[in-house]
Amino acid sequence: MIALSDSIFLTPEAYLQREEKSNIKQEYIDGQVYAMAGTTDTHHTIALNLALLVRNHLRGSDCRVYFADVKACIEKRNCFYYPDIMVTCDPKDRETSTYKRFPKLMIEVLSESTEAFDRGDKFNDYQTLDSLEEYVLVNSKHQRLETFRRNTARLKKLEWLKPSK
């Protein structure tokens, strides 16, 4: 992420208003706005394929799948992030069209520029979401997934999944 040059403190409301008019995606972390880098075709293809698989799996349920352009609001940390894929089943999330507050599943496709953040600060922030049950990291260079599932209080690494040969 790259901090925007006019680094002034913004309230969440000011950020959301600014984001509506912006032609670039920006994430919000405790008053600061950060421009997001574009993705590669590999990253986009992986995320789109996963989003379609998850959507097909959830067809007929009350859950909704969001891909790339809907923000996750992490109120306890005063953040808005754009996860690659997000699933929410909470009817309260239908009250807002540009962000969701009660995701059940978050999936991030890792890239060299985002991996440390997705594993570090973003993961720590996501863990403050009481609704979040699973966090999945997808390696875009190797066929590997890391799945974290909530146990009593925190998200715990479940397993490394690799395709069988």
pLDDT at 2 over 50: no
Query: How does residue 165 score in pLDDT terms, banded at 50, 70 and 90?
Result: very low
* Three-state secondary structure call for residue 144: strand
Cβ-based neighbours of 75, under 8 Å, separated by 6 or more: 101
**Tens-digit pLDDT profile for residues 57-93:** 999 999 999 998 999 999 999 999 999 999 999 999 9
Domains of the chain: 39-161 (3.90.1570.10)
- For the segment 135-155, the average pLDDT, to the nearest whole number, is 84
| Residues 162, 66, 80, 92, CA torsion sign | negative
